[in-house]
A and B are shown apart, each in its own frame.
Chain A
Amino acid sequence: MALHLQRLADGNLCLAGLDEHWRHVFAGVPALLAEPQPPAVRERLLPSPSKRADINRDWRELIAPELEAFWRANYELMAADLGRMEKDPAHRGCWRVVFPANHAAAWLSAINQARLVLASRWDVTEEDMNRPAEDLKPTERDHDIFLIHLLAYVEQLFIEAEEGSGQ
């Protein structure tokens, strides 16, 4: 059964088709984001917004902590939802997680951020992203590039859910 995201009759969202591999991938997202990030990642997530030093200084002091708190709330919400994962009664060997539709934005934020964190850690380029899957090698870097692609697939499910919600 393929991974899919569907809206239930009661308005909640259900992410289903989670086999052991997918469970591992999803559990890794909040865990990755909770880790202290190296400077290259922080620079990508919190780039200087201006050429002016005074604006950048104020940004670092006032806005950056606000953004970090916002992102933390998002991945913690995703982690809490994942904590309620259950065996899918309709599909043997698969798991599912049901969560309120208004959590989708938080999931999308966390998934997108995880992709950026992985890419920044390894300095992934456009060229890297265009390599065919069969060219990827059994290295930690290529493993994470593959994970960036996997999470892109999931991210697209959430984008379509957001577009379908009319928000």
Chain B
Amino acid sequence: MRKRSPFPNILPPRADAGGPATAPGVIETISEETKTNLAPPWHVIVRNDPINLMTYVTMVFQKVFGYTRQKAERHMMEVHKRGQSIVWTGGREPAEHYVRVLQQYHLLALMEQAEP
């Protein structure tokens, strides 16, 4: 990242993950919510690149995650010095949303499921 160095339309995480319909006479023993809770979480990771400005990356973390400047700078410095930072951890759908928004801002963002 460069030392010296979008957007307001950050969409909320998609909430379109409806569970499957239950067939008549079938008793579900594990709810969808329980299954989700048991699955390992997903990490949203941002990798370093030599072009994006440090001030820009900090601004993006603040806008996308609502982080304080201090926390956003901590992640930015981790990206800069260690090559990457886990910037958020949680469910798959919000992780996909965050990766999409970070890529919208041209950051090298990806998602990775945590080890079970």
Q: Using CB atoms and an 8 Å cutoff, list the residues of chain A in contact with chain B.
A: 44-51, 55, 63, 66-67, 70, 74, 102, 105-106, 108-109, 112-113, 115-116, 119, 124-126, 128-129, 148, 152-153, 155-156, 159, 162-163, 167
Sampled A-B contacts (21; CB under 8 Å): A45-B106, A55-B111, A63-B100, A74-B6, A106-B7, A109-B6, A109-B106, A112-B105, A116-B49, A124-B51, A148-B51, A152-B2, A152-B4, A152-B53, A156-B53, A156-B55, A159-B5, A159-B56, A162-B59, A163-B59, A167-B8
Contact with A along B38-58 (1 / 0, CB 8 A): 000000000001111101100
| B104 interfacial by beta-carbon distance below 8 Å | yes
Contacts of A45 in B (CB 8 A): 106
- Establish whether residues B109 and A112, one from each chain, have CB atoms under 8 Å apart when the complex forms: no
**A67 / chain B contacts, CB cutoff of 8 Å:** 100, 103-104
A50 & B111 in contact (Cβ 8 Å cutoff): yes
Closest partner residue, chain A, to B7 (CB atom)? A105
Give the residue of A74, A105, A113, A159 whose beta carbon is less than 8 angstroms from that of B53: A159
Residue picked from B52, B96, B103, B109, most chain A C-beta under 10 Å? B103
Whether B99 and A125, one on each chain, are in contact in the complex, defined by CB atoms closer than 8 angstroms, is no
User: Which one of A63, A129, A159 has the highest number of Cβ atoms from chain B below 10 Å of its Cβ?
Assistant: A159
C-alpha spacing A129/B2, complex, angstroms:
8
B110 touches A (CB below 8 Å): yes
Residues of A within 8 A of B105 (CB): 109, 112
Q: How many residues of B contact A (CB 8 A)?
A: 27
Check if B51 sits within 8 Å of A129, measured CB to CB.
Answer: yes
Query: Chain B interface (Cβ within 8 Å of chain A)?
Result: 2, 4-8, 49-53, 55-56, 59, 63, 96, 99-100, 103-106, 108-112
The answer for the CA separation of A124 and B50 in the assembled complex, in Å, is 8
Whole-angstrom CA separation of A112 from B52 in the bound complex: 7
Q: Is the CB of A47 within 8 A of B108?
A: yes
Chain B nearest CB: distance from A139 CB in Å?
Answer: 19
On whether the beta carbons of B8 and A105 are closer than 8 Å, the reply is: yes
Q: Take A45-B106, A155-B56 as given contacts and tell me if A119 and B50 are in contact as well, using a CB distance cutoff of 8 Å.
A: yes
Given A49-B111, A119-B50, A152:B5 Cβ within 8 A: yes
Assuming A105-B6, A109-B6, A152-B5, is B104 touching A126 (CB within 8 A)? no
* B51 contacts A119, C-beta separation under 8 Å: yes
Nearest opposing residue in chain B for A108, CB measure: B6
